């Protein structure tokens, strides 16, 4: 088989993966389902998690020798795009990027790995704290003698998770521990976000926890998992942007002013073209970054690629969704129009793991450091 044949086969696999994921989400109800779940309290559908697992979604980036499909981040990015198109609340990026990202690097033989891949369980990852300076040195959460004390903040996916992977401080450095959602001395407070989802504020008071890994490896694995999740969040934003643009394009073809569809006005057509180009550039940039990350082993380069992807995707998503609201006119601000759901999700997802300004700064600092080293 030639290199061209291999590339063609890989592209066909990715196309089929996209079609499968899109069909699954559309059959489940698309964005209408997201609205219903939001109105019901902002959780996710456990049955949908199982269906996604049966389709191989959660194991797509896990190596084959660990029970996954071994298709890499590029394939996971395609799934993330489809998640974004229907603003699905299921923890797809959280599971692929963070939960499995940590476990497959630190303890691939742990029973939770196949349970996550099969959709049998959902785990959230907690590593941030509300310290005075927000730096790791300010961390106060501690693990000792099988017990966890302290607090963790800004935990995405806390609602509905059966357990938590907590990165905390032990006697000899960082430790990754597993806390069950029903453990003694464990309290979750939820903080609502603009899109109806919530971030968890976790409190531990002598809470039983099982140690999974310790030492410098925990810090390195967490950094790699966050980089993966950042890149996948960028892909989710790309899918969200594409669908928001499609909704807007359909609307300007039917909304009339002066007895004409506003889409017939040249100024509106020019704006639509600009948004379309922005969508295409963002998709190409994020897809290229994910593909490069699959073939890259240097953590610094992978982090730089993820920052480039997130910066580009956030810039596009914020511009497209805000312009979409404006092109809808006053009705864009009403809750019955779906475009508002996409704007709110874009705002939340753009801020998660760093916005465009944050990642643009990381990118430029990395490039400057690279230039100075040469």
Positions of the chain with pLDDT under 70: 1-9, 131-138, 256, 259, 263-264, 371-374
Question: Which pLDDT belongs to residue 335?
Answer: 82
Q: Examine the domain organization and report whether 231 and 261 are in the same domain.
A: yes
Q: Domain check: are 9 and 144 in the same one?
A: no
CATH assignment at residue 279: 1.20.140.10
- Secondary structure element (H or E) that encloses residue 318, with its range: helix 299-328
Torsion angle (degrees, nearest 10) of CA 175, 109, 124, 30: 160
Are residues 365 and 225 part of one domain? yes
Domain that holds residue 364: 218-373
Asked whether residue 206 falls in the same domain as residue 224, the answer is no
- Nearest-CA neighbor of 276 among 241, 311, 309, 308? 241
User: Which pLDDT belongs to residue 267?
Assistant: 78
Measured CA to CA, the distance from residue 40 to residue 340 in angstroms comes to 18
Quick: pLDDT tens for 96-128. Answer: 999 999 999 999 999 999 999 999 999 999 999
Last residue of a domain, one of 181, 199, 214: 214
Beta strands per DSSP E along the chain: 123-126, 142-144, 147-156, 163-170, 173-180, 186-192, 198-208, 210-214, 256-257, 260-261
pLDDT of residue 8: 63
pLDDT, residue 9, reads: 65
pTM above threshold 0.85 = yes
Out of 121, 138, 164, pick the residue that ends a domain: 121
Number of domains in the chain: 3
pLDDT digits (tens, 9 = 90+) for 151-162: 999 999 998 899
Residue at which a domain ends, from 195, 214, 233: 214
CATH number of the domain at 152, please. 2.40.110.10
Q: Residues 208, 210, 213, 216: what is their CA dihedral angle, to the nearest 10 degrees?
A: 0
**247 & 345 share domain:** yes
């Amino acid at each position: 088989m030639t290199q061209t044949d291999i590339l063609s086969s890989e592209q066909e696999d990715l196309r089929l993966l996209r079609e499968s994921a899109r069909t699954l989400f559309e059959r489940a109800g698309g964005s209408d389902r997201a609205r219903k779940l939001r109105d019901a309290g902002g959780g996710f559908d456990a049955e949908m998690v199982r269906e996604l697992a049966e389709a191989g979604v959660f194991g797509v980036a896990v190596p084959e020798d660990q029970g996954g499909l071994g298709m890499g981040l590029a394939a996971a990015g395609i799934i993330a795009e489809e998640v974004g198109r229907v603003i699905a609340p299921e923890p797809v990026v959280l599971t692929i990027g963070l939960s499995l990202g940590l476990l497959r690097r630190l303890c691939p033989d742990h029973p939770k790995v196949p349970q996550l891949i099969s959709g049998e369980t959902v785990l959230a990852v907690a590593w941030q704290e509300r310290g005075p300076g927000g730096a790791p040195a300010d961390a106060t959460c501690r693990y000792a003698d099988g017990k966890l004390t302290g607090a963790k903040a800004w935990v995405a996916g806390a609602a509905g998770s059966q357990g938590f992977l907590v990165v905390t401080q032990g006697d000899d450095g960082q430790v990754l521990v597993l806390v069950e959602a029903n453990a003694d001395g464990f309290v979750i407070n939820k903080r609502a976000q603009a899109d109806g989802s919530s971030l968890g504020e976790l409190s531990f008071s002598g809470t039983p926890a099982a140690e999974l890994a310790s030492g410098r490896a925990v810090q390195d694995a967490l950094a790699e998992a966050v980089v993966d999740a950042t890149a996948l969040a960028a892909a989710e934003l790309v899918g969200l942007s594409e669908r928001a643009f499609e909704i807007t394009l359909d609307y300007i073809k039917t909304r009339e002013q002066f007895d004409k569809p506003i889409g017939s006005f040249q100024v509106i057509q020019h704006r639509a073209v600009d948004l379309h180009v922005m969508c295409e550039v963002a998709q190409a940039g994020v897809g290229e970054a994910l593909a490069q990350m699959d073939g890259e082993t240097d953590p610094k380069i992978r982090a730089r690629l993820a920052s480039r992807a997130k910066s580009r995707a956030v810039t596009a998503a914020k511009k497209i969704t805000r312009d979409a609201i404006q092109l809808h006119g006053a009705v864009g601000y009403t809750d019955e129009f779906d475009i508002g759901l996409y704007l709110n999700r874009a705002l939340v997802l753009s801020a998660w793991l760093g916005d465009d300004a944050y990642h643009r700064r990381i990118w430029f600092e990395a490039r400057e450091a690279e230039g100075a080293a040469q």
